[in-house]
Amino acid sequence: MIRVLIVKDYEEVSREAALRIAEIIRSKPDAVLGLATGSTPIGCYRELIRMHKMEGLSFSKVSTFNLDEYVGLAPDHPQSYHYYMFQNLFNHVDIKVENIHIPNGVAEDLDEECLNYEESIKRAGGIDLQLLGIGRNGHIGFNEPGSSFESRTRVVKLSEQTRMDNARFFKSLDEVPTHAITMGIATIMEAKRIILLASGEAKAEAISKAIKGPKTVMVPASALQDHEDCLFIVDRKAASLL
Ligand code: PGA
């Protein structure tokens, strides 16, 4: 079952998410976190950085696994998720570089990269807390509508809607990669806890379908209905169709 916390606005979504992540790190300093990119988690990362600087929250033993990365973008490409994570979180906290895991979108053998990624998650003991955003089409990670609930880390083709939604970060639509590596839905479902964040009216339909709709591969986030510890933290606008 999905539990839902409805809060006032984006700031509160960010704070509530950061509080829960901090709580996990404090109770288990070597926690394994699954992290997300996109515009939604930025406020949460900002709050975690504040907690690190002002409240002594330490990431020194934390390991992280990001959900996804664009195929073809090197780690130093400003639109890569590697770059995003260092800019928005890792450069500002005391995490050890060797504990950071993000799929390599320029690996020579992408299939092998995906298998190795799954292996590394297992070796780390699995993900304690997976943070998620949600696409307007209900995607989680880059698992687009139609993705099997059995899917694992793999190379996927991005939907045109997702490419258009993400074009705002690039100079033009043509520059948005066509493929990505993403953890699969089964990979995500193995996380011990999941927190999904959503803010704004554009996400209201996806949130409503994920929670109230039938479980269907056409709404990848609806798979979360079967997770035993999944919390959606949404603002009033994203909750407006609930
Ligand atoms: P957004 O993306 O946070 O930039 O809206 C979320 C997602 O596509 O998962």
For the residues 33-46, what does the mean pLDDT come to? 97
| Contact by Cβ (8 Å): 190, 152 | no
| Structure-block tokens of residue 229 | 């510890």
Q: Atom 8, ligand 1: which residue's CA is nearest?
A: 135
- pLDDT (tens digit, 9 = 90+) per residue, 40-74? 999 999 999 999 999 999 999 999 999 999 999 99
Q: Is the pLDDT of residue 241 over 90?
A: yes
pLDDT greater than 90 at residue 117: yes
pLDDT score for 150: 98
What is the domain class of 2-235 according to CATH?
A: alpha beta
Among the residues of the chain, which ranges form H helices? 10-27, 42-55, 81-88, 110-123, 160-166, 185-189, 204-212
Residue pLDDT, tens place only, 185-217: 999 999 999 999 999 999 999 999 999 999 999
Overall pTM > 0.95 = yes
- Residue whose CA lies nearest to ligand 1 atom number 2: 38
Read off the pLDDT band of 1 (50, 70, 90). Answer: confident
Q: Is 139 a catalytic residue?
A: yes
Substitution candidate for ligand 1 out of 165, 169, 194, 219 with most atoms within 8 A of CB: 165
Pocket test for ligand 1, best of 14, 39, 40 (most atoms within 8 A of CB): 40
Report the phi/psi class of residue 153: left, alpha or beta, with left for phi > 0 and alpha for psi in -120 to 50: beta
- Residue 137 appears among annotated catalytic residues: yes
Total residue count of the chain as it appears in this document: 242
- Domain residue spans in the chain? 2-235
CB atoms under 10 Å from CB of 144, counted, come to: 23
DSSP class of 226: G
Q: What is the mean pLDDT of the chain?
A: 97
Using CB distances shorter than 6 Å, the residues near ligand 1 are 38-40, 133-135
